[in-house]
Amino acid sequence: MLMFKWKVYFYQNINGKEKKVEKEFNNPNEYYDFINSHPEFSNNLLGFGNLDNYLENFFNSRFALEPVYNEVPSNNFLPEGIDLDKYEAEAQKIDEEKKKKKEKKNVLKKSLEKLKEFLEKFKKEKKDDLVKKVKKDIEKVEEKLKKLAK
């Protein structure tokens, strides 16, 4: 048999006017009926967004390495022609492009370091044909790095 036990507690104090609700439930149907009939307990977590995603969004936004954009307000109440979703998508696209560019730079820098190590090793071993190839590859990588710096 499935056991259900839930407690709802709500306290609000706006300009000295207090509202307090505390209720326990043993039946999930009663709990859902209560939640659905009281807008302050709806799944919007009192203005913080969707309850199902609240904690995940909280941790992602606090501990993410890249910027995390909060949920964009609804376009329903904005003047005609303003589309926040469009701007949000563009901002995310810009951040993604910057991230990819940074990753490319890092890979190219590491490759350049490795090529220079090979160059020194081949010079010591008098491998002239490999020295020439590595020098050309170094030039190619340096050129790509210059283009990415723009």
Which structure tokens are listed for 97? 């492009």
User: What is the per-residue pLDDT for 19?
Assistant: 80
User: What is the per-residue pLDDT for 65?
Assistant: 53
pLDDT tens by residue, 12-31:
777 888 888 788 878 877 87
The residues, any chain, with a CB within 8 Å of residue 35's CB and separated by 6 or more, are: 8, 41, 42, 43
User: What is the per-residue pLDDT for 61?
Assistant: 56
Which structure tokens are listed for 104? 């490319």
User: What is the per-residue pLDDT for 47?
Assistant: 44
Using CA atoms, how far apart are residues 98 and 83, in angstroms rounded to an integer? 23
Q: What are phi and psi of 102, to 5 degrees?
A: -65, -40
Average confidence score pLDDT of the chain: 77
Residue extents of the structural domains in the chain: 1-54, 97-149
Start-end of H helices in 38-127: 51-63, 84-124
Under-70 pLDDT residues of the chain: 1-2, 4, 39-77
pLDDT tens by residue, 66-76:
554 555 555 56
Quote the DSSP letter at residue 18: E
